A and B are shown apart, each in its own frame.
Chain A
Amino acid sequence: MNKNLDIKEFLDQDQQKDLLRLLTAGSVDDGKSTLIGRLLFDSKKIYEDQLSALERDSKRIGHAGDKIDYALLLDGLKAEREQGITIDVAYRYFSTAKRKFIIADTPGHEQYTRNMVTGASTANLAIILIDARKGVITQTKRHTFLVSLLGIKHIVLAVNKMDLMDYSEEVFNTIVADYKKFITPLSIPDIEFIPLSALNGDNVVELTPTMPWFKGKSLLQHLESVHAVSDRNFDDFRLPIQNVLRPGLDFRGFSGKIASGVVRKGDELMCLPSRKTATVTRIIGSEGDTDYAFPPQSVTITLSDEIDISRGEMLVHPDNLPRTERQFEAMLVWMDEEKMDPFGQFFLKHTTHTTRARFDQIKYRIDVNTLEQYTTDALELNEIGRVILTTNKPLFFDPYHQNRETGSFVLIDPLSNNTCAVGMIIDKLRPSDLHSRILDPETRRLVEGGKSLINKEELEGRYRQKGSTTWIMGLHGSGKNMLAYALERQLFDKGATVVLLDGSTMRSGLSRELDHSPTDRAEQMRRMAHVCRILNDQGYLVICSFISPDEAIRKQVADIIGHERFKLIYMDATLEYCQKNKPELYEKSKKAEIHNLPGMDERFDIPTDADLILNPENAANNVTQLMEFLDNEGIFPLKA
């Protein structure tokens, strides 16, 4: 026999194996380290000298009597070894004739949720370990929830310590039934149940005769045969750009790792956010030029046209676009010792793109043991919650359950630079139904910190008016601008000092980068509210004319300006009236040529707390009514 040929054959085959990344969840008590130790040991990965070192260690601090303590093979860091628990994610490597494996070994206790989440983020499969004596317990449920949260599609429920339950089929069946009841709503596509004894090696690598009633595969046989390639998303092409390569004038390549989907030479690609398109001329992979590429390959692409693309942008197929939003919902896991500052600003890193982000709302915290929801102001270490975030620049994303790569992000604390939270984007709600937050009590406190040398009474005496805001709201075409200008004229003529702010003026200057999406509309309102506040503080009357469709935002505007000097005036016009007034605008909305028009494709909350409701049909009368209102309120003229 030619030995040299054998090793060549071996290497050629070994090279073609695929890689399975798996997570083990369970605690030391469940025999997790023993199980992993056995997988490594029995697949002959552990070298002899490590074993002899182990025997030496075992005598000193071992926990398993005279037997080899497999757990000692695994715990790396000195301090942890002394404590006898694994407190971080440790990665192990082993390989069989069929496959290579990377194990993310994570601790099981609740205070290590963040470690488990970390391990789960890259895993294809999770082994959830159960002690046959205890059955399905709180910890099992927690682990299963985290595994489903992180989008792992394959679970193995390993029922360990069967030797201590006389290898009873009944015990096993009860546990399986319990677990199935619990897991149904979590919709995990592939679950396998295996009874075993890690200590004795039963059903770990080989099926042993101890449980003849078990007709399935051993744990290792199952791990070797799970079909994990199809977990990848080959449908939606997304290439987040990492680098632009320009070795010379005649070459410009865009590098990145394909997050999902397949790209071919000749494909038309669109760049986000510019939406410019071009055709793929070359695809350079790790083995040179290729005709097509797929995830998770790292490639460099060249295009037919000189379009401007930089890091953080994304190449996609024009007929299959990701969502592009500045506001979205996510499940968030808080990873930092420091509690969340719900009013803080964070860096958000998503694919290759970093922007700033803040929270609009912490909708609820979820108890990882019971899956019950609780309201909360801020998340703490290891807590998981559902949040709404707004970013400075739009993200190009897919929901996490469709795309792990483009649906995940991390938050970085700008002061400590720590990765303080990680998130998975969900897309259950339309953007217009998300809650925006423009009020920031922290900032407000700072604003109040500065004190003018001129007091309120002096200002009122000088201008003979009370600084306040008359906020006129209503649909497009309700006549609120006309009313606002007429009111300004009247007030000016009677000697008032007045400033008028309307949407178009503001959008042409101060807010020119904002669009009409709900997120940007909220930002526009925030800016206007602060301008009003400043002007009112200085004694000016302000008239505002804004559609202001969102009730929650209006409340926050009032909070910023101060409720006592915020007067809400509602132009109560019917949609028909408005459409008659601005037929072209509403026609465009009907044809979907424009979007985000309140009352049409966007929500308009009719106010229930208006200080004055006006009917646009009485245009002539409305100014008089408003002047009377301001007089009655003592705003203008000032009452002695």
Chain B
Amino acid sequence: MNNFSINNLRELETEAIHIIREVAAEFENPVMLYSIGKDSSVMVRLAEKAFYPAKVPFPLMHIDSKWKFQEMTAFRDYYAKENGWNLIVESNMEAFHAGIGPFTHGSKVHTDLMKTQALLQALDKHRFDAAFGGARRDEEKSRAKERIYSFRDRFHQWDPKSQRPELWSIYNARVHKGESIRVFPLSNWTELDIWQYIRLENIPIVPLYFAKERPIVDIDGNLILVDDDRMPKELAEKAQMRKVRFRTLGCYPLTGAIDSEADTIEKIVEEMMTVTVSERTTRVIDFDQEGSMEQKKREGYF
């Protein structure tokens, strides 16, 4: 007697693989956006599986805000090389040369120029008509209604009122020239699913996710890592060694750590089940204004 039941992780996995294959088949020039975070790591693994034993037929692209943790960049380059990915790295060089940064310009300006604008410039430059992102619906309220294929007009704008109906597992891939879609194959995954899958599949992730003694400054309640010498001296001087880990990864001055002893996936999950802070609160950008994530999405951020 065979067993025809499928567990929740494998069901989420097959759904994601189906989506990734559909996009590869129906779009001319797709790209997978790679944030180097844990969700991206899962998405990348799913893409590798979707086309095994062939190579993944689209590139990875990382939007480098120039303020990422150094460990992230090192991990990115290592992983791409090790797994034979075609890796594209793009930045808003104009803004970078103008000296834009979170310490000097605040999170809002920095995020807009170095993340949102940088992404839009890169999408235009390469003429990608579909871009995979690792966003999940359970991350944040405004994402609960996000489609798996999220339609963007030629200015990359997202209009919550004109999203296409999405039924069964039939996805509408038709776009006019210049228009594009963002694709979220992990839409139905929760944070716990991501950790479970990383554990199950032994997926390498950036070590920042695991607790370790690190030089930390407390800035308005956010535990910020002193990652390089661009942190203003008066702040960096206050650094203390604390055993911390990161629940999400982004630009180091905008990503708060949490005090933690969790240095294995099991301990991370255990901590997650008992500690009661949801994931995005360690990202400074969400607190700018009410409904801020929705606002950023309309503007073209993921």
A residues lining the B interface (CB < 8 Å): 3-4, 7-8, 10-11, 14-19, 47-50, 73-79, 88-93, 95, 100, 102, 105, 114, 117-118, 121-122, 229, 232, 234, 242-243, 245-247, 251, 253, 255-257, 262, 284, 286, 292, 294, 296-298, 300, 311, 335, 347, 349-352, 404-405, 408-410, 412, 417-419, 422
Contact of A121 among B50, B168, B200, B276 (CB under 8 A): B168
Contact of B18 among A8, A79, A242, A412 (CB under 8 A): A242
Are A92 and B144 in contact (CB-based, < 8 A)?
A: yes
Q: A90 CA to B281 CA in the complex, in Å?
A: 21
Task: Given A89-B145, A251-B53, verify A412-B174 contact (CB < 8 Å).
Answer: yes
- CA distance in complex: A408, B168 (Å): 8
CB-CB < 8 A to A298: which residues of B? 13-14, 17-18, 21, 50
By the criterion CB–CB under 8 Å, are A229 and B145 in contact? no
Can you list 30 A-B contacts (CB < 8 A)? A4-B266, A10-B273, A17-B7, A19-B7, A19-B8, A19-B12, A47-B276, A47-B278, A73-B141, A76-B142, A77-B160, A77-B294, A78-B290, A78-B294, A79-B160, A91-B137, A92-B144, A93-B190, A121-B168, A243-B51, A245-B54, A284-B52, A286-B13, A292-B2, A335-B165, A349-B170, A408-B170, A417-B175, A419-B166, A422-B167
* Interchain nearest-CB distance for B34 vs A (Å): 21
Query: Please, which residue of chain A has its CB at the minimum distance from the CB of B171?
Result: A349
A349's partner among B10, B13, B172, B291 (CB-CB below 8 A) is B172
B269 and A78 contact, CB distance less than 8 A: no
Complex contact A77–B145 (CB within 8 A): yes
B74 at the interface (CB under 8 A from A): no
State which of B14, B55, B164, B270 has its C-beta within 8 Å of the C-beta of A286: B14
Contact of B138 with A by CB under 8 A: yes
- A296's partner among B14, B50, B160, B188 (CB-CB below 8 A) is B14
Contact B17 A18 (CB under 8 A): no
Of residues 117 through 151 on chain B, the ones whose CB sits less than 8 Å from some CB of chain A are 137-138, 141-145
Interface string of B10-27 (1 = CB under 8 A from A): 111111011001101100
Q: Which residues of chain A are near B165, meaning CB under 8 Å?
A: 114, 118, 335, 410, 419, 422
Q: Which residues of B are in contact with A by a Cβ distance under 8 Å?
A: 2, 4-15, 17-18, 21-22, 24-25, 49-55, 137-138, 141-145, 160, 163-170, 172, 174-176, 187-188, 190, 192, 196, 199-200, 266-267, 269-270, 273, 276-278, 281, 290-291, 294
For B167, give its contact among A118, A247, A255, A412 (CB under 8 Å). A118
The answer to whether A246 and B172 touch across the interface, beta carbons within 8 angstroms, is no
Instruction: Say whether B276 contacts A49, CB under 8 Å.
Output: yes
In the complex, what residues of A have CB within 8 A of residue B172's CB? 349, 410, 412, 417-419
Inter-chain contacts of A352 with B (CB < 8 A):
22, 25
* Chain A residues whose CB sits within 8 angstroms of the CB of B25 once the complex forms: 242-243, 311, 352
B143 surroundings in chain A (CB, below 8 A) = 76
The reply to whether B168 and A255 contact each other, CB–CB distance below 8 Å, is: no
Nearest-CB distance from B55 to chain A (Å)?
7
B160 → chain A closest CB, angstroms: 6
Residues of A within 8 A of B269 (CB): 7, 10-11
Inter-chain contacts of B15 with A (CB < 8 A): 296
Alpha-carbon separation in the docked complex, A114 to B163 (Å): 13
A-B contact sample (19 more), CB < 8 A, given A7-B270, A50-B278, A121-B167:
A4-B266, A7-B266, A18-B7, A49-B278, A88-B160, A90-B145, A92-B138, A95-B192, A100-B8, A242-B18, A247-B55, A257-B14, A286-B10, A286-B14, A286-B49, A294-B4, A296-B6, A311-B25, A347-B174
Known: A18-B6, A242-B22, A417-B172. A77 touches B142 (CB 8 A): yes
- Known: A118-B165, A262-B4, A294-B4. Is A242-B277 also a contact (CB below 8 A)? no
Q: How far is the CA of A242 from the CA of B55 in the complex (A)?
A: 16
The answer to whether A4 and B294 touch across the interface, beta carbons within 8 angstroms, is no
- How many Å from the CB of B56 to the closest CB on chain A? 11
User: How many angstroms between the C-alpha atoms of A294 and B10 in the bound complex?
Assistant: 12
Question: What CA separation (Å) do A409 and B200 show in the bound complex?
Answer: 35
A88-B145, A93-B138, A412-B174 known; A17-B17 Cβ under 8 A:
no
Residues of A within 8 A of B167 (CB): 117-118, 121-122, 408, 410, 422
Determine whether the beta carbon of A90 is less than 8 Å from that of B144.
yes
Contact with A245, one of B51, B166, B270 (Cβ below 8 angstroms)? B51
For A118, give its contact among B50, B53, B54, B166 (CB under 8 Å).
Answer: B166
Which of B2, B175, B187 neighbours the largest number of chain A CB atoms within 10 Å of its CB? B2
Partner of A15, one of B7, B18, B160, B170: B7
B278 and A16 form a contact (CB under 8 A): no
Q: Of all chain B residues, which has the CB nearest A120?
A: B167
Q: State whether B188 touches A93 (Cβ < 8 A).
A: yes
> Considering only CB atoms, which chain B residue lies closest to A6 in the complex?
B270
Partner of A76, one of B141, B168, B174: B141
A300 in complex: contacting residue of B52, B163, B174, B175, CB < 8 Å: B52
On chain B, the residues within 8 Å of A95 by CB distance are 190, 192
**Residues of chain A with a CB closer than 8 A to B169's CB:** 122, 257, 405
